[in-house]
Amino acid sequence: MSGEGSSSTFKSNSKKCYYCGELNHWKNECEWKDYLCVKCKTHHMKLFTSNQERSKGARFFRCESQPFCNGFEWFDAAMKKKEDARMKKNEKQEKSTNATGSTLKLRIEGKVTMTAEGNAKDMADLIKKLQDM
């Protein structure tokens, strides 16, 4: 045998963070390792796993400055909060760019004065729409 398939030559393409348990990154790249305390907003929070009967295995953050700060947040809630923020950011970016990829900006000041930025085709389309109003 040439040693094919031996455990010493096995290389895994997947990475799993041993800090948060998520895939495709290591602890040094983990977005949660410097998670700011939700209460004091000064110290970082550490990730723990609950051993309490009613929440056994659930992960949670606790402020590293305990007992001075009692900052606490469930990991699932923190993940949802981050995902909601990402979605909101993406929605905002999508709203600023229409389906054709145009980023036309229009600012109307008063009844007559107007400034607009964009390419010639988008400007012509805008003027036509304004005339049709």
Which tens digit of pLDDT belongs to each residue from 71-97?
999 999 998 998 888 888 877 777 665
Strands 105-109 and 113-117: antiparallel
Query: CA-to-CA distance for 127 and 109, rounded, in angstroms?
Result: 16
pTM of the model: 0.55
Q: What is the mean pLDDT of residues 5-17?
A: 54
Domains and CATH numbers, the chain: 32-84 (2.20.25), 103-133 (no CATH)
| Closest to 77 in 3D by CA, of 122, 102, 45, 108 | 45
- Residues 113-132: b if buried by 16+ CB within 10 A, e if exposed: eeeeeeeeebeeeeeeeeee
Q: What mean pLDDT is reported for the chain?
A: 79
- For residues 16 and 14, what is the distance between their CA atoms, to the nearest angstrom? 7
Q: For a pLDDT cut of 70, what percent of the chain falls above it?
A: 72
